[in-house]
């Protein structure tokens, strides 16, 4: 008692959580950087690779979650299927990601307001304070009330993204003031693949391809967020998890691919207005590639509407990310890897101490209220994306060991599992290999720039790769102090808590 979450979330609430966490400044703003860096074909390819990889990660998570839905989230699976030290590292890097991401999205919301109200008129810190209070207050709601909140905004986000996709399609086929069909003209001139700065030829295009993954990853991550709320999902839990998994992927995945396809058709990667929007970056309509395309088409009113949508997008993202951080810290505390005080809940099932602790990190948002906010936001993006990739690698490693243990212990996956991941374990090996490559290459442009004559940008280098040593320090530090050992496949626990779920669903 006093340490339990309330089981009130339905499958569409789990999906709404992922929608609210995924659809934010990444898809509306950062995607423009990917187009500028790599060109329309590169943008499309990075999203296809990203969506396929995400499907494999989601499928792997869904198989483990529908077998035993652990209330302590990703850290719980890592501790059970690899070793406690791995769970410690996975759990804390996941927590760090959302302690950083929430404030960055919150400050992005203040920048969106700055599209209408100049920073000299009202300091952005005022808007950040208001948004911070709103985020903390809504996260104190009972989970069933919070679910209503995220349902509404998830539906709004999906509607806007689908509408933006259809609108982009209309522009390509001549639905603009000039009634001019655009088609694939920008794929022909200036071309489908952009070179990386002054690096010409196939080497330049290959360099631009990998450099484009950084903003694409930032636009795509968040699909997996339902996995942090398993402890608040109502019965039948397995059915709700499976339905949420399908709803999340098949709603967002195809829409995102079509959206970036049409963006690459309505906007050239060498458009001077796109360049200006990136150089003078602000998390508002002024920096959105869709707004650049709309202005080029001569439609004046829509930028204000899109900015209002961006404001709602990033506000709800920061709100959802606080929810996720709270549950991540709660899961670590339940697992004995954080002070037990963070697992305490009130009568509404809210981990109030975890809420207070995570809420304090939102003061990081004030860093983005300064004139150097563009650079700070980019550093936040660098740190977040490396933690994203580490978390995805962690899920896949857990799943690979889970599948192997199931085989060793004589459990028939096809008949005894509620859901089995498509193509596993081979698909998981493919996705894991791809993610490891991305971990090291997503920001290798910092070395390219140095080779092309620029000074070495050590700040970008540190922010882009610092997550990797942090992960290993956490892992080996826990291993050293607590003598943690990798669990053998024969001894891996595939039954504890399963009987509880089985009994609930009979």
- pLDDT 10s digits, 453-473: 788 888 889 999 999 999 999
Q: Note whether 344 and 352 are within 8 A (CB).
A: yes
Smallest CA-to-CA distance from 465 within 214, 222, 216 is with: 214
CATH superfamily of 11-499: Amino acid/polyamine transporter I (1.20.1740.10)
Peptide bond into 236 cis (omega under 30): yes
The percent of residues above 70 in pLDDT, for the chain, comes to 97
Segments making up each domain of the chain, as ranges: 11-499
Residue 104 has pLDDT above 90, yes or no: no
Peptide bond into 255 cis (omega under 30): no
The encoded tokens of residue 279 equal 């150089």
Q: Note whether 282 and 111 are within 8 A (CB).
A: yes
Helix, strand and coil content of the chain, in percent to the nearest 5, comes to 75, 0, 25
Residue 280 has pLDDT above 90, yes or no: no
How many residues are present in the chain? 506
Structure-token match 């001894």, residue found: 491
The encoded tokens of residue 154 equal 């998830």
Using one digit for the tens of pLDDT, what is the confidence trace for 412-449? 988 889 999 989 899 999 999 999 999 988 888 888 88
Q: Note whether 20 and 150 are within 8 A (CB).
A: yes
For residue 373, the model assigns a pLDDT of: 63
Using one digit for the tens of pLDDT, what is the confidence trace for 352-407? 999 999 999 988 888 766 655 667 778 888 899 999 999 999 999 999 999 999 99
Please state the rounded mean pLDDT for residues 136-151: 92
For residue 372, the model assigns a pLDDT of: 59
Q: Which residues pair with 144 in a beta bridge?
A: none
Q: Which residues pair with 199 in a beta bridge?
A: 196
| Model confidence, pTM | 0.93
Residue 207 has pLDDT above 80, yes or no: yes
Using one digit for the tens of pLDDT, what is the confidence trace for 471-505? 999 999 999 999 999 999 999 999 988 888 888 87
Q: How many CA atoms lie within 13 A of 461 on its CB side?
A: 9
Q: What is the CB neighbour count within 10 angstroms for residue 469?
A: 9
Residue 300 has pLDDT above 80, yes or no: no
3-class secondary structure, 196: strand
Q: Note whether 135 and 322 are within 8 A (CB).
A: yes
What is the spatial distance between Cα 253 and Cα 246, in angstroms, rounded to a whole number? 10
Please state the rounded mean pLDDT for residues 149-167: 94
What is the spatial distance between Cα 221 and Cα 411, in angstroms, rounded to a whole number? 32
Q: Residue 449 burial (CB < 10 Å; 0-12/13-18/19+)?
A: middle
What is the spatial distance between Cα 167 and Cα 262, in angstroms, rounded to a whole number? 9
What is the spatial distance between Cα 10 and Cα 287, in angstroms, rounded to a whole number? 36
Structure-token match 């459990």, residue found: 411
């Amino acid at each position: 008692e006093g340490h339990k979450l309330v089981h009130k979330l339905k499958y569409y609430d789990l999906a709404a959580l992922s929608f609210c966490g995924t659809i934010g400044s990444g898809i509306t703003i950062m995607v423009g950087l990917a187009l500028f860096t790599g060109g329309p074909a590169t943008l499309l390819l990075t999203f296809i690779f990203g969506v396929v990889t995400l499907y494999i990660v989601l499928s792997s998570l869904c198989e483990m979650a529908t077998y035993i839905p652990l209330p302590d989230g990703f850290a719980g699976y890592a501790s059970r299927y690899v070793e406690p030290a791995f769970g410690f590292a996975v759990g804390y890097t996941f927590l760090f990601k959302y302690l950083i991401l929430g404030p960055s999205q919150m400050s992005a919301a203040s920048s969106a307001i700055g599209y209408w109200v100049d920073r000299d008129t009202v300091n952005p810190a005022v808007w950040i304070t208001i948004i911070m209070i709103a985020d903390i207050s809504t996260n104190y709601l009972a989970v069933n009330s919070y679910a209503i909140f995220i349902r509404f905004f998830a539906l709004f986000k999906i509607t806007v993204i689908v509408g933006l996709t259809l609108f982009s399609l209309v522009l390509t086929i001549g639905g603009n003031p000039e009634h001019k069909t655009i088609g694939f003209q920008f794929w022909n001139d200036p071309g489908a693949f952009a070179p990386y700065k002054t690096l010409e030829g196939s080497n330049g295009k290959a360099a631009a391809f990998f450099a484009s993954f950084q903003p694409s990853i930032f636009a795509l991550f968040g699909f997996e967020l339902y996995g942090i709320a398993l402890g608040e999902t109502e019965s039948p839990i397995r059915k709700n998890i499976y339905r949420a998994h399908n709803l999340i992927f098949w709603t967002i995945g195809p829409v995102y691919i079509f959206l970036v396809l049409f963006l690459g058709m309505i906007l050239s990667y060498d458009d001077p207005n796109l360049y200006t929007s990136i150089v003078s970056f602000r998390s508002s309509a002024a920096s959105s590639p869709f707004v650049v395309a709309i202005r080029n088409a001569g439609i004046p009113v829509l930028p204000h509407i899109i900015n209002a949508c961006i404001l709602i997008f990033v506000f709800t993202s920061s709100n959802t990310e606080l929810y996720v951080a709270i549950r991540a810290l709660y899961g670590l505390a339940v697992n004995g890897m954080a002070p037990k005080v963070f697992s305490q809940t009130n009568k509404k099932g809210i981990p109030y101490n975890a809420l207070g602790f995570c809420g304090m990190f939102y003061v990081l948002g004030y860093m983005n209220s300064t004139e150097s906010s563009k650079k700070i936001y980019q550093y936040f993006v660098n740190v977040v994306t490396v933690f994203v990739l580490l978390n995805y690698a962690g899920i896949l490693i857990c799943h690979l060991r889970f599948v192997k243990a199931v085989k060793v212990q004589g459990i028939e996956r096809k008949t005894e599992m509620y859901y089995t991941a498509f193509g596993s374990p081979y698909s998981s090996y493919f996705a894991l290999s791809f993610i490891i490559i991305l971990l090291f290459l997503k920001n290798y442009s910092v070395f390219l720039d140095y080779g092309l004559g620029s000074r070495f940008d050590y700040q970008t280098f540190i922010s882009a790769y610092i997550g990797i040593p942090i992960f290993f320090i956490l892992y080996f530090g826990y291993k050293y102090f607590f003598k943690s050992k990798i669990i053998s496949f024969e001894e891996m626990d595939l039954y504890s808590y399963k009987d509880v779920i089985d009994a609930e669903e009979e």
